[in-house]
Structure formats: structure tokens, C-alpha cells
């Protein structure tokens, strides 16, 4: 229900911004149209994201600073007479399981210093018979599978540093937008990469 109300609010705000006209008739038309649209196409069932305003502001400030720094560093790379890059794709395993957090972190990684998210895949625990269903970052019967982000970097200094940066970014995002399960999940120690063949607690016959 909350998601629908927020969606109606957002759509009416976009309508009013597009018309540039804050009269009551226009706003009412926007709300009406947004309600009809949300009734026809209800948004998917998302986990309830807990928004903390102070953390959102902190995330926004850090993000603005990272954006400026990233553009300066890309500018320096472009302006060199002979381009010298060490590109690479690094796997960054996350800890929080919800798709919302993964989407935010992937977008933030794409907009920050020299990194670009290429792919997001569920974490494969070695070769075990039961794999999570396709497209789901989280399995319903109690076993949550955190995603792994594959991040392309212009200058890979040290892959562990890239993973640490990714986990720090995830902490910012979860503090700002995460659900209670996510906030619990990021208290775990950083995941090891590459993953072990058969971590404790999961039975299964290796294929």
C-alpha cells in the first residue's frame, strides 16, 4: 500500500513538473491520472525499505563528492598523451540480499571513480545441486542469496581494495535505504572471494 501511495505521489510530481503549472486543477488531474495508472499497473511487491533521512543526506553528500572526483580522474586519464590503463573486471560480493539495495549500489558504482557495473549475478556456492531460481536475488524458503556485482575498473590497483570500496558503498546505501534484514546482513564480516566449495550449513551433492 505504501509503495502504491509513493508511486502515485511520484507520478503526480512528474506530471506537475512536466506541465510547470502548480494550479489545483493541474495537480488534481495529475493525481487522478497517476491513480488510474497505479491501479492498472500495480508495482511489484518490494520489501519495505526503511529510509533514514540523515543517512540519505550523508549518502547524497558523499555521492556528490565522489561524482566530482570521478570526473576529474577520468579527465586526467583522457588528457594523457599516451593512454595507460590497467582495466579489469573485479567480482564484488555483497552482503545485503534485496534487489533494491543491489540496484542502488550498482548505480552508485557506475557513477563513481573509474568503475562501471557490468553484471549482477546470484552468488553461486560452488557446484551444488540446488541453484537459486533465475532472476531472483533472494530465495523465498528462507535461504537468501546475496548478489555478486561484477565491476569493471579503469585502473585496478588491488582487487581487494575494489571489493572493500564496494562494501563501504553498500554500507552507505543500506544505512540510507535498507530494510531491517539488510541492516542485519551488513553486520556480517566481509565475504571471501572466491567462494568456498561447500560452505557450512548447506548440504548437497557436488555435481
Partner 1 sequence: MSISTVISAALILVGCALGLLGGVGLYRFPDVLGRMHAATKPPTLGLVLVAVAAILRVDQLAGATLLVLVILLQFLTAPVGAHMVARASYESGDQLDEATVIDDLSQAEPPEQFP
The CB density around residue 140, as the number of other CB atoms within 10 Å, is 8
Round to whole Å and give the CA distance between 177 and 55: 8
Q: Which of 50, 40, 54, 55 is nearest to 7 (CA)?
A: 40
Cβ at position 68, least distance to partner 1 in Å: 8
- φ, ψ of residue 127 to 5 degrees: the values are -115, 85
Q: Does 206 bind partner 1 (CB under 8 A)?
A: no
Packing angle, helices 159-177 and 53-79, rounded to 10:
150
Residue 184 grid coordinates:
542485519
**Straight-line distance from the first to the last Cα atom of the chain, in angstroms, rounded to the nearest whole number:** 43
Q: Which one of residues 99, 159, 190, 191 is an interface residue with partner 1 (CB under 8 A)?
A: 159
* Cβ-defined contacts of 19-22 (< 8 Å, 24+): none
Q: Does 26 bind partner 1 (CB under 8 A)?
A: no
Q: Which one of residues 34, 49, 105, 148 is an interface residue with partner 1 (CB under 8 A)?
A: 148
Q: Does 99 bind partner 1 (CB under 8 A)?
A: no
| Near partner 1 in 119-138, by CB under 8 A | 119, 121, 124, 134-135
| Near partner 1 in 68-97, by CB under 8 A | 68, 70-71, 74-75, 77-78, 83, 85-91
Residue ranges that bind partner 1, judged by CB under 8 A: 14, 16-21, 67-68, 70-71, 74-75, 77-78, 83, 85-91, 106-107, 110-111, 114, 116-119, 121, 124, 134-135, 148, 150, 152, 154, 156, 159, 194
Amino acid at each position: 500500500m505504501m509503495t502504491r501511495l509513493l508511486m502515485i505521489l511520484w507520478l503526480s510530481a512528474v506530471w506537475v513538473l512536466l506541465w510547470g503549472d502548480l494550479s489545483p486543477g493541474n495537480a488534481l488531474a495529475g493525481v487522478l491520472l497517476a491513480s488510474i495508472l497505479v491501479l492498472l499497473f500495480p508495482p511489484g511487491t518490494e520489501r519495505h525499505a526503511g529510509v533514514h533521512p540523515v543517512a540519505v543526506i550523508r549518502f547524497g553528500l558523499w555521492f556528490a563528492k565522489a561524482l566530482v572526483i570521478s570526473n576529474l580522474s577520468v579527465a586526467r586519464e583522457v588528457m594523457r598523451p599516451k593512454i595507460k590503463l590497467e582495466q579489469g573486471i573485479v567480482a564484488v560480493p555483497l552482503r545485503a540480499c534485496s534487489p533494491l539495495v543491489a540496484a542502488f549500489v550498482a548505480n552508485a558504482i557506475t557513477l563513481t571513480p573509474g568503475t562501471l557495473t557490468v553484471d549482477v549475478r546470484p552468488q553461486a556456492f560452488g557446484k551444488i545441486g540446488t541453484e537459486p531460481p533465475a532472476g531472483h536475488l533472494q530465495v523465498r524458503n528462507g535461504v537468501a542469496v546475496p548478489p555478486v556485482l561484477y565491476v569493471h575498473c579503469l585502473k585496478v590497483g588491488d582487487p581487494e581494495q575494489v571489493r572493500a570500496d564496494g562494501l563501504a558503498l553498500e554500507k552507505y546505501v543500506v544505512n540510507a535505504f535498507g530494510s531491517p534484514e539488510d541492516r542485519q546482513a551488513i553486520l556480517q564480516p566481509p565475504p571471501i572471494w572466491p567462494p568456498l566449495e561447500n560452505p557450512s550449513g548447506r548440504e548437497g551433492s557436488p555435481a
